[in-house]
Structure 1
Amino acid sequence: MSLADEVAIARKEIRADGYEMSVGEIANLYRDGELRIDPEYQRLFRWDETRKTRFVESLLLGIPIPPVFVYQGEDNVWELIDGLQRLSTIFQMMGILQGERAEELGELVLEGTTYLPSLSGKKWEPTSEDSDDGLGGSLQIQIKRSRIRVEILQPESDATAKFELFQRLNTGGASLSEQEIRNCVAVMIDPSFFAWIKALSINPDFTTVTAQTETAVESQMSVELALRIISFSEIPYNKRLDVHEYLDRALLKLAESQTLDRDSVADRFNRSFKILNRALGDSSFRRWDGQNFRGKFLMSVFEVIGHGVYQNIEAIELLGDDNADQFVQRRARELWQDEVFKTNSGGGTRGTTRLANLLPMAKDFMCP
């Protein structure tokens, strides 16, 4: 197949349209529920007051604004894909931002800028009739008449293509983590799948044994770890893929799967981490120094012990509680003497090499 053929096929996978709209028209669509921002995506609205002010300044000065991207659902309602920071700033300023973030953020008070120092302290509406801290009707109209191009992804677009587009668009601005982008895509594909894996990630046993820092929790690392456990067992790892590329593809397959028994998988997941919590608690995935488990959470240990217990949960449970705990504790210590693990778990080991070698050993290593 020639390059031209590949381009032609790929272009057919993304059905798109687009046109320019005024800020006022976009605000009306949002107010009427015809433009939707999913709550999970809205949580990623992170611009500080300075960046918000600079954006408002751009609207007032007529500086061209990058397009926003939406996905048109079967009900013709637009779902925002890219442009969260810009549109949320507009909606917050106008006082029409909806959801939890609206209450948290409150009213937008602008700062002064180099070109417009008098913006300092300005709001959309004045505090009172005799206050001069409002933008004023003339500037409000100017902002509402500013134009932004809206690119519309049609419902016929291939799901994988939507994922690729979303990833490429969301590489800046909000500084999203890989998993935050996956979360948004999961919501686009099947909200119930995202709710399901999110529920697994906040299982008390799981959160205890993975010992996530506040920063890791904020970047949705716990959801990524839950996704890893399910993916390792359901989607064979392709050695040619970067780890995050593998997780991207695994999420797509899992979210779209008609055969994945979510109840059965969740039960296995919960039983596995219950045993790990009982046996090792927050030491489950730390380094064994010969006397104690020390240090921080280690992904390499998680990939062997966590995946291995999940694969062997029935056999481990048959040992009985005390023997199962002793078995898990013993294997967690012995892991640090295993040559395959030592060779493929060092700081300089590539993620692809680590997964390719540790995942195959996990099941046998944790088999009673």
Structure 2
Amino acid sequence: MDLQNQVELARRKIVKDGFDMSLGEIMRIYERGELIINPEYQRLFRWDSTRKTNFIESILLNIPIPPIFVFTDETGKWELIDGLQRLSTVFQFAGILRDAEGELVDKFVPNGTRLLPDLDNSEWSSDDENTKILPLAIRLDMERVRLRVEILKRESDAKAKYELFQRLNTGGASLSPQEVRNCVAVMLNKGFYSALSSMAEDANFVKTTDMTERAREEQKHNELVLRYLAYRYKTYDQAIDVHDWLDDILIDIANNEKYPVQEESIIFARTFNIINDALGVDAFKRYESGNFSGGFLISPYETITNGVSRNIDFVEKCGVEYLRNAVIRMWTDERFRANARAGVRGSTRLGKVLPLVDEWFSK
């Protein structure tokens, strides 16, 4: 099939429409429950006050707003695919934004504007006569601002929704790669996403990975769980970038009705239980000169968790002292050290090291 035919086939998979709407119309649609913001997406809404203020100011200055993308579900309602930060800011300013539990979120009050100083501390509306209120004329002007709504119709190919989400968000500053994957997982298989998130809260996993709060906010803990599951699910393909490969594996697992998620969750818990018993917070640190030191490293994490989980019955039978010695044996093996050092590409490391795990954790 030549490129022209490939393009035409791919285009037929996406059935879309689009038109301009006013912000006021979009606000009313949201209030009626006809515009759905998935609760998992909403938890990712984390623009700070400065970015929210700048966006409200930009709207009032008639700076064009990028289009939003929605997907028409089976009931005819719109599910927001892209535009979460922008619409959530407007809804919160207007006092209509609801959280994942359906409760109204505290209103947002602009502060620190650069070009419209009188906008500072102005609320959309209030019953308190002492509160500074946005003038009615300004509020109406804002509601009449128009933006493009691109609509992905339900006749589109089943994969079109999450592929569109990935393409719109990958590489953007608003979401980390794993946050994008989280949203894709929710679209495809909420049960699998819930299981993955539950594993990321396992007490032994939390202790051994010793992750910073910032890393957790960026969903690095979920990414580590996905890496663990991915390397167990399929042999890593060195020809593909690690992050692209993780994207593909997530989609594959989420679409696999036979994927044994409960069994994998049990093995995960057993794996991190014995790793924590044997090494605790030292589990994924560098071993050198008889001591573990430094911070968390991805190379021992990938290798140890894959090796232990693949041989969990044997490792549990041998006990914590065996496992501790096995990890030290791994670190003293030049094949591991050569590929775990700084500067080695992740794809190279995985291709060289993962095939060796049985040598270190099953003998």
- The TM tier, using the shorter chain, reads over 0.9
Answer with 93-102 or 202-211: which moved more: 93-102
Residue matched to 2:69? 69
Shift of 1:168: 2.6
CA RMSD of superposed structures (Å): 2.1
Residue matched to 2:255? 256
Structure 2 counterpart SS, 1:255: helix
Residue matched to 1:350? 345
Conserved 8 A contact 1:345-1:354: yes
Distance 2:219 2:306 in 1: 20
Conserved 8 A contact 1:210-1:285: yes
Distance 1:333 1:305 in 2: 11
- Residue 367 in 1 paired to residue 359 in 2? no
Structure 1 counterpart SS, 2:81: strand
Residue matched to 1:243? 242
Shift of 1:105: 6.2
Q: Which amino acid aligns with 1:169?
A: L
Residues 1-368 of structure 1 aligned to structure 2 (within 5 Å): 1-99=1-99, 106-111=106-111, 113-126=113-126, 128-129=128-129, 131=130, 133-171=132-170, 175-317=174-316, 319=317, 323-368=318-363
Distance 1:172 1:28 in 2: 32
Conserved 8 A contact 1:23-1:145: yes
Distance 2:245 2:81 in 1: 22
Conserved 8 A contact 1:85-1:173: no
Distance 1:257 1:40 in 2: 21
Shift of 1:40: 1.9
Shift of 1:77: 2.1
Shift of 1:162: 3.2
Conserved 8 A contact 2:284-2:301: yes
Distance 1:237 1:159 in 2: 26
Shift of 1:31: 1.1
Shift of 1:102: 9.3
Instruction: Note closer, same or farther for the CA distance 1:350–1:101 as it changes in structure 2 (3 Å cut).
Output: farther
Answer with 295-304 or 70-79: which moved more: 70-79
Distance 1:126 1:259 in 2: 54
Distance 1:104 1:286 in 2: 44
Shift of 1:53: 2.4
Instruction: Note closer, same or farther for the CA distance 1:285–1:338 as it changes in structure 2 (3 Å cut).
Output: same
Conserved 8 A contact 2:170-2:180: no
Instruction: Note closer, same or farther for the CA distance 1:187–1:311 as it changes in structure 2 (3 Å cut).
Output: same
Shift of 1:305: 0.8
Shift of 1:109: 1.4
TM-score, normalising length: structure 1 = 0.92
Shift of 1:112: 5.7
Structure 1 counterpart SS, 2:75: coil
Q: Which amino acid aligns with 1:61?
A: L
> Where in structure 2 are there 5+ consecutive unaligned residues?
none
Cα displacement string for residues 8-52 of structure 1 (whole angstroms, at most 9, x for unaligned residues): 122122222211111111111211211111222112222223322
Cα displacement string for residues 283-310 of structure 1 (whole angstroms, at most 9, x for unaligned residues): 1111111322111111110111111001
Shift of 1:64: 1.9
Distance 1:173 1:96 in 2: 27
Distance 2:329 2:112 in 1: 62
Conserved 8 A contact 2:329-2:360: no
Q: Which amino acid aligns with 2:111?
A: E
Sequence identity percentage: 45
Shift of 1:114: 4.4
Instruction: Note closer, same or farther for the CA distance 1:173–1:47 as it changes in structure 2 (3 Å cut).
Output: farther
Instruction: Note closer, same or farther for the CA distance 1:132–1:367 as it changes in structure 2 (3 Å cut).
Output: closer
